[in-house]
């Protein structure tokens, strides 16, 4: 549960959100955000004076054991379906369990919130029996900085895949492009395995799009012509980027995704997966960071 409310600065409030789930509301001098302890999921962020940047489905579930549809889900310690265990949850367990609020402090005009997840009975399974500690630091201000640090507390080396599965709000996906990945090879998850050569222009959307760009640490720019704004995502400690829009049929097939909502979102995910999955020796750690900026 949430710690003593007096332990947090006045720009941070603790309470119950949708589904009665514990939530942290941040109202800083430079930006505001909403963070659920469930999955340590940032579900809203806006710089002061700007439109909301993160997309949320109106049909999202808010319940233990279910993923929240929107904001920034954390995919960890695997991405997509578990490679061996079909019963294991898609994208790992991190977004399905409750994290602890470790610290909340003001830093100039920003507000920094730190959440923690350690291995428990809820995380240990045949799919992932390992000891670990994750620390997720969210800095809310004119930009949003998300930093996920994972430490291997097991006596054996482990390999992790991870993603900050960021849902961005756009005016219309059909007039939105994603720049920064030009010339970068990618796996088209709709066309099966195998690497496709990079393309010369930005990513454009004319149908369901589900691509894993491998071996890239590029800063990406989402240019949203309909809304007249750009969102950039700069990264560190990330060597894969995933770009996804479900389009109409896939959106209609998802029960927690409104049938018409697909036109208003794009996922640009800061990740380490496949060939850039991270191998951690006992006691060692790795940090992956995404910084979102709006102009
Ligand atoms: O990141 C793209 C993706 O892997 C898609 O294949 C789609 O499954 C999406 O994630 C959403 O997955 P979810 O388990 O949240 O429905």
Q: What is the pLDDT of residues 128-152, one digit of tens each?
A: 999 999 999 999 999 999 999 999 9
CB of 116 closer than 8 Å to CB of 99 = yes
Task: Tell me what pLDDT residue 130 has.
Answer: 98
CB of 101 closer than 8 Å to CB of 37 = yes
CA gap 147, 126 in Å, rounded: 28
pLDDT of 5 over the 70 cut: no
Ligand 1 centroid distance, CA of 239 (Å): 19
| Phi, psi angles (nearest 5°) of residue 272 | -140, 110
| Phi, psi angles (nearest 5°) of residue 276 | -110, 20
Q: Clarify whether 269 is annotated catalytic.
A: yes
Which residues lie across from 222 on neighbouring strands?
A: 178, 231
Task: Tell me what pLDDT residue 1 has.
Answer: 46
pLDDT tens sequence across 176-219: 999 999 999 999 999 988 999 999 999 999 999 999 998 999 99
**Active-site residue among 38, 82, 91, 165?**
165
Closest atom of ligand 1 to CA, residue 242 = 1
Closest atom of ligand 1 to CA, residue 67 = 15
Task: Tell me what pLDDT residue 206 has.
Answer: 98
CA gap 190, 209 in Å, rounded: 8
| Phi, psi angles (nearest 5°) of residue 19 | 65, 10
pLDDT of 221 over the 70 cut: yes
Q: Clarify whether 100 is annotated catalytic.
A: no
CA gap 232, 235 in Å, rounded: 10
Tokens of 14: 């603790």
Listed residue (161, 85, 91, 160) closest to 126, CA to CA:
85
Beta strand extents in 90-155 (DSSP E only): 100-107, 110-118, 132-140, 144-152
Ligand 1 mutation pick, 71, 165, 188, 265, max ligand atoms within 8 A of CB: 165
CB of 181 closer than 8 Å to CB of 241 = yes
Closest atom of ligand 1 to CA, residue 257 = 16
pLDDT of 2 over the 70 cut: no
């Amino acid at each position: 549960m949430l710690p003593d409310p007096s332990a947090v600065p006045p720009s941070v409030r603790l309470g119950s959100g949708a589904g009665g789930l514990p939530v942290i509301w941040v109202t800083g001098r430079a930006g505001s955000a909403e963070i659920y302890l469930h999955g340590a999921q940032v579900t809203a962020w806006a710089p002061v004076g700007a439109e909301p940047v993160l997309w949320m489905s109106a049909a999202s579930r808010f319940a233990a054991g279910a993923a929240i549809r929107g904001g920034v889900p954390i995919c960890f310690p695997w991405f997509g379906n578990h490679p061996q265990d079909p019963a294991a949850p898609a994208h790992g367990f991190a977004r399905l369990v409750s994290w602890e609020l470790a610290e909340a402090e003001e830093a100039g005009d920003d507000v920094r919130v730190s959440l923690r997840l350690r291995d428990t009975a809820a995380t240990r399974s045949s799919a992932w029996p390992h000891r670990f500690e994750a620390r997720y630091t969210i800095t809310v201000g004119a930009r949003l900085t998300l930093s996920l640090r994972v430490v291997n507390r097991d006596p054996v080396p482990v390999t992790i895949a991870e993603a900050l599965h960021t849902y961005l709000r756009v005016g219309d996906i059909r007039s939105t492009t994603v720049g920064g990945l030009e010339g970068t090879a990618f796996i088209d998850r709709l066309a099966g395995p195998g690497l496709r050569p990079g393309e010369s222009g930005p990513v454009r959307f004319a149908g369901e799009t589900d691509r894993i760009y491998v071996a890239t640490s590029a800063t990406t720019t989402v240019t949203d012509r309909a809304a007249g704004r750009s969102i950039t995502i700069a990264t560190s400690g990330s060597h894969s980027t995933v770009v996804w829009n479900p389009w109409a049929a896939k959106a209609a097939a998802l029960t927690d995704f409104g049938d018409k909502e697909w036109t208003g979102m794009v996922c640009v995910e800061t990740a380490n997966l496949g060939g850039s999955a991270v191998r951690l020796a006992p006691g060692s750690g790795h940090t992956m960071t995404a910084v979102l900026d709006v102009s």
